[in-house]
Structure 1
Amino acid sequence: MAPEQPDPDRIRRVRTGCWTCRRRGYRCDETKPSCKECIRLSLDCEGYGIRLRWTTSSSPAGPGKGNAPVNRPGRSRRLRRTSPPTSDPNTAASKAVSQDLGGVASLSPLPPGLSHDQSFLIQHFFYTISGLLASTDDRSINVYCGVILPMAFSSPLVLDSVLLLSATHLASRYDQFSPHNAKYKAQVLRALIHRVGAWSEFELTTLTSIILLSINEIFEANSPADWVRHLAAAGKIIGSHMGNLVGRAPDRTVRMILDIFAYHNVLALVSTGQPSLFLDLYYDDKWSSLSGQRTAFLASVDTLLSIAARLSRLTHASDDGLPCTADRLAAADRLRQQLGSWSPPLGIPDDTRHTAEAMRYATMLIYYKTVAFAGEDNAAAISASSRAIVEHIGHVPVRSSATASHVWPLYMAGSVLEDGVSVPEDARQFIQDRFLAMESVRGIRSVGIVRRRLEQAWSTEVVSAKLEPPVILF
């Protein structure tokens, strides 16, 4: 039965709900990730993301002039470079954001003195970047909106870091934003060099800016070396600060910033094996600042990430040629037992649960890599873990906020080319298609780098561990 068509006589302007219902003039129940109306009519729910409109600064744009086409995922398997906005961002940026912002929390009034460019980039950070980086739809606990953005309004360094992230993300599709990217990156680096040179005590704004600078490396898809360098610098600041607390816990704001660092730092450790990234923090199973919060993604997987960090430390010790001692094997086995007994918390959203399970199997693949040096044959278990990752992520829509944490497990699932284990063709196709969809929906360059690395491995059947340089996983 074909989906029913809207009656032209009853189509009306609808300002809230998913974009499919808005266009058709239907009332939307705003269920996420897909509304019930679209499901009932077997329609592709286009979601609730903000869409931007660029207009010229002098006069309204006519049809086809001045508007950046929306790149709708699903119409092309590969990310297409859409035509950049024809208006000059230096004069019209703050006018570019669509006023049709129903269904999301409102941005507080911006402080006075901001340029048009800055206002536009801040709104892009609030409405888009904060959602790309957080693995939860709950904006009340979104640290990028609730902690970092208010911090930026009182710290020029953090403000420049926020503007840099927005400019870098937009520059991946619109060349006009490339000058903004270069400008704010230079300003952030100069300020950080000055801060570090005059270092006297812990400053949360400095730590926050370094962490945001590391995330910018993900957006730019540069060599992982700078990504690791920024995280290692942040780790030194954190280690020094935690040591000075002498048994006292940092305040909640600091802990929420530490959550961002810990997540990215673990994945940097997993993908590069740099020993300087390991912190004693990862021996604490429950480090999330929002532990017990049902909608907080990190609170659901902090124990899992700690296990992954400790296993990675053991794995890369083997990669460096250190002997596979009985003590290391025993430590790996204890971590395997913890993995076996771990399960996602009860009552969390389905997308979070499936993502957490995919991460658990990805961590199990790290374990198999660790014990491979002892001559164990785990080919069947490796293949099963790879398929389990694909199965769990297959339950999560690509527009779900949980997709922010899918790059690492998908890469692990696709890179098991050891000891006769090969990724089945259907699993390869799913992984490739999912990465292509993520590139289109999320607009983060590093996703394409990871996808191409896997395609290279599949075409040559090269063992992933020997591929150089490491990729940025996030």
Structure 2
Amino acid sequence: MELSLPTLEAQTLRPRRGLGRTRRTRSFTGCWTCRSRHLKCDEAKPECNRCIQLGTKCEGYAVRLSWSESRQLRGSKPTPSPECSKTTAGLSPQSPSHRGSSSLSSSSIRNSARSADATSTFSDTLLPRNESGQAESADQDLFVFGDIAVSTHIERFLDRQQTPPPSITHLDLLQIPSHQKRLIHHWVAYLSAKMLLTDGPENESRTLILPMALAGIMSSSRESNAEITIFHAVCACSAYNLFELSGGRAAGDQVLGLKHDQLALTHLRHCIGRHEDFNSRALTEAILICVTVDTISGAPQRWRIHMAGGIAYLKGLRARTRNVRDLSACIRYLVCYAILCDWDIPEDILDFLDTTEDTPNPFPGASLQFFRNLAAMNRLLAARHFPSEEELDRLELCLLLDFPQTDMAQCGTWDHRGFAEHHAAKAFYYASLVYFNRTVRRLPLETVHSLTESGVQALEAIETVGNAHLGCMTMWPALVIASEASSPDQQLRMSSWFITKRQLGLRSQQTFLEAMNTLWLKRAQSDEPSEIRWKDIIEEERYDVFRL
């Protein structure tokens, strides 16, 4: 599924009116080297004669696209470029919108944006005006430049401008920085802690992500890099979260979320296209945090775009380098995400689990052996032939023996974090057994009732020790346990568990509860409830959100 970049438009530059002498027009159609030196170019191709005579490198005549500029004409008021405006002025939630100025090619993304009264588009004040004063259509007069659709207004606009000063940063171009300040504050004070089951001083959402986001906004406005992707993704996460916490009433936050979301996607695609950044820790983090945006917004199916891109990135990383030490934590995140989502993962990508064994566990309660076991179950499900009883027995034996380890000497010193992670490990353990028996062996519902009960108790214990102060755990065990809850009592308790988690402001939590209610209703109405599979339900488009 291809992501299309937001279309770039240009503003019409209007000459100043006054009594002064008319300024002689200058041509900017020469090579870029002569333009930067303010020299007259003879426009010889492929290299101009002036550059050859001076012994300098001729940079050619190709149209250049910059993500954000602050070009200004001599003798006129500074006029932000449309790219700059999209990055800054367009982030005001009060700005009017324009149909069709930017879009993503996924139908689910369009549906999500359309529900917000076209809030996925940018201000029509950013568009060039025709003679009647009306905003021109953003998709008229398009030509293809590489894989980017560019308005012909851009070419005319760039020809009139000077190169922006390199000292201008993305931070300088924020017209209403109070919006972004509020979003980053929310990330620091609330969201970064709630994205994990337990918070601590080592939380990389603050210690790693924030410095990268800072590097992004302090970078030149002429650059598109992974760090500025992270900045926009963090802002999108906070904006979507604030919208959900408001009960859907803060429409301005949804507007900010949509616009920062689109900017993050645009920068991410640009960075992935530059192969020199392939071994970048920031690029890997950018991919991960864009997936996190989908978790909070609950955009159906869009997580699949990022997951496919993440696996393609890992394939490219494997082909280009064997030294992944600096990226090991990020790589483990990506591989574990893919396993939890039952993604088709090549064997050489699964090998990354072994090369990242010494990295911190990104999923409290889920051991590295759990992910190996789950990957093995997914391979059995994908196999063309049904596995033999011996194969199934061996795997089930490994699952049964993989009970969470407990250091009894340290139990007395545990705080709520230690107990919460212990109960989370038990939830993963019982969920893996339920998953194996119901999904792999395809046994009837009643055969896993006791295992499901143990899983429900483990999830309830997490909330008890956390006293409603914990964040969001990985949803895989809760989904498995809730989906196989066969009694009304178990279903009621799991429904209450999801409602409690809904207060975190993650849209996906509400979607999961709706999916479970649909599943339980279908089973109650079916003569063969065991044949109603939870995977069939959550893969429906309306429920197909990321299972973080």
TM-score by length of 1: 0.64
Match of 2:334 among 258, 261, 265: 261
Which residue number corresponds to residue 68 of structure 2?
A: none
Query: Deviations for 1:374-395, whole angstroms, at most 9, x for unmatched residues?
Result: xxx4655421221111011111
Matched, 1:234 2:310: yes
Query: Deviations for 1:194-217, whole angstroms, at most 9, x for unmatched residues?
Result: 223333341322222221111111
Distance 1:401 1:339 in 2: 31
Which residue number corresponds to residue 279 of structure 1?
A: 349
Q: Which of structures 1 and 2 has the bigger CA Rg?
A: 2
Following TM superposition, the consecutive aligned residue runs of length 4 or more in structure 1 with deviations greater than 6 angstroms are none
Change (3 A) 1:300 1:413: closer
8 Å contact kept, 1:137–1:401:
no
More helix by share: 1
Which residue number corresponds to residue 325 of structure 2?
A: 250
Match of 1:160 among 232, 238, 248: 232
Match of 1:337 among 371, 377, 397: 397
Which residue number corresponds to residue 475 of structure 2?
A: 407
Match of 2:291 among 186, 210, 214: 214
8 Å contact kept, 2:365–2:428:
no
Query: Deviations for 1:89-134, whole angstroms, at most 9, x for unmatched residues?
Result: xxxxxxxxxxxxxxxxxxxxxx975711122111111221211212
8 Å contact kept, 2:229–2:267:
yes
Distance 1:430 1:194 in 2: 46
Aligned partner of residue 423 in structure 1, secondary structure: coil
Aligned partner of residue 323 in structure 1, secondary structure: coil
Matches within 5 A, 1:137-156: 137-138=199-200, 140-155=201-216, 156=228
- 1:466 is aligned with what amino acid? D
Matched, 1:425 2:488: yes
Matched, 1:466 2:536: yes
Distance 1:352 1:201 in 2: 36
Aligned partner of residue 473 in structure 1, secondary structure: coil
Cα offset for 1:427? Answer: 0.9
Distance 2:263 2:243 in 1: 17
Query: Deviations for 1:271-311, whole angstroms, at most 9, x for unmatched residues?
Result: xx5457993147539736126xxxx7548623212322331
Match of 1:437 among 500, 503, 507: 500
8 Å contact kept, 1:281–1:287:
no
Matches within 5 A, 1:36-435: 115-138=177-200, 140-155=201-216, 156-172=228-244, 173=246, 174-202=250-278, 203-224=280-301, 226-246=302-322, 248-251=323-326, 254-269=327-342, 273-275=343-345, 279-281=349-351, 284=354, 287=357, 289-290=359-360, 298=364, 301-315=367-381, 317=382, 322-326=384-388, 330-345=390-405, 346=407, 347=410, 349-372=418-441, 377=443, 379-397=445-463, 403-405=471-473, 407-416=475-484, 423-435=486-498
- 1:258 is aligned with what amino acid? I
Change (3 A) 1:370 1:446: closer
Change (3 A) 1:362 1:217: same
Distance 2:339 2:492 in 1: 28
The more displaced of 298-307 and 352-361 is 298-307
- 1:360 is aligned with what amino acid? Y
Change (3 A) 1:116 1:259: farther
Distance 1:143 1:309 in 2: 26
Query: Deviations for 1:210-229, whole angstroms, at most 9, x for unmatched residues?
Result: 211111111111223x2122
- 1:194 is aligned with what amino acid? H
Query: Deviations for 1:316-366, whole angstroms, at most 9, x for unmatched residues?
Result: x16xxx22033xx55544332222222323247111011111111111122
- 2:386 is aligned with what amino acid? C
For structure 1, the 5+ residue unaligned runs are 1-110, 417-421
Change (3 A) 1:123 1:354: same
8 Å contact kept, 2:294–2:545:
no
TM-score by length of 2: 0.56
Cα offset for 1:431? Answer: 0.5
Cα offset for 1:439? Answer: 0.5
Distance 1:330 1:264 in 2: 29
8 Å contact kept, 1:232–1:276:
no
Distance 2:498 2:348 in 1: 28
Distance 1:379 1:286 in 2: 37
Cα offset for 1:450? Answer: 0.6
Aligned partner of residue 154 in structure 1, secondary structure: helix
Q: Percent of pairs identical after alignment?
A: 18
Query: Deviations for 1:37-96, whole angstroms, at most 9, x for unmatched residues?
Result: xxxxxxxxxxxxxxxxxxxxxxxxxxxxxxxxxxxxxxxxxxxxxxxxxxxxxxxxxxxx
